Amino acid sequence: MQVARFSVRIVLWMLICALVGCGEETGGKLAVSGLIKLKGQPLDAGSIQFESKPPAPSCFTGGEIKDGKYAIPPGQGLLPGTYTVRISAPENVAAPSEPGGEIAPPVKDRVPPEYNVNTTLTFEAKSGTSNTYDFEVP
């Protein structure tokens, strides 16, 4: 259930940031990309999210991981600063329940909670660098 709530929260934050933005609408945002591995292999499908850490203004952005790679373009990227990183890869997507029907079981994440719900991962986005974030989930 905790993973399902986390997934809903991610979607809501992504929508809010897409509509409002994370600071200035033009300029200042940095592209970020990288390679994510799960148990030594490129993660076939998943998502990566970056959330700014205080005292920076609240900002949340992310992208899709496909075949281990992700890329977030500058227009949707990160302002310079330190971010909390969450990596997620649902095992399967539960079908939404129909009104009055059974409640779908929570979605199981292949990535352990210490890399998403209870993450301690951080990344510092800097101007003038490639801003590559590669990570291997054991």
pLDDT, tens digit, for every residue of 38-69?
A: 999 999 999 999 999 888 777 889 999 999 99
**pLDDT for 19:** 42
Q: Name the nearest CA neighbour of 71 among 38, 34, 45.
A: 34
**What is the rounded distance in angstroms from the CA atom of residue 79 to the CA atom of residue 25?**
11
Give the up-direction half-sphere exposure of residue 123: CA atoms within 13 A in the CB hemisphere: 28
43: which residues sit within 8 A by CB, 6+ positions away?
36, 37, 65, 68, 87, 89, 137
Q: Note the pTM of the prediction, 2 decimals.
A: 0.73
Per the structure, the count of domains in the chain is 1
Secondary structure (3-state) at 95 = coil
- Residue 91: count other Cβ atoms within 10 Å of its Cβ: 11
- CATH number, domain of 117, equals 2.60.40.1120
Contact (CB, 8 A) for 111 and 88? yes
Work out the pLDDT band at 106, boundaries 50, 70, 90: confident
**Could you tell me how far CA 97 lies from the centroid of its own chain?**
25
Which residues, 6+ apart, have CB-to-CB distance to 138 below 8 Å? Answer: 39
The domain of 89 spans 2-137
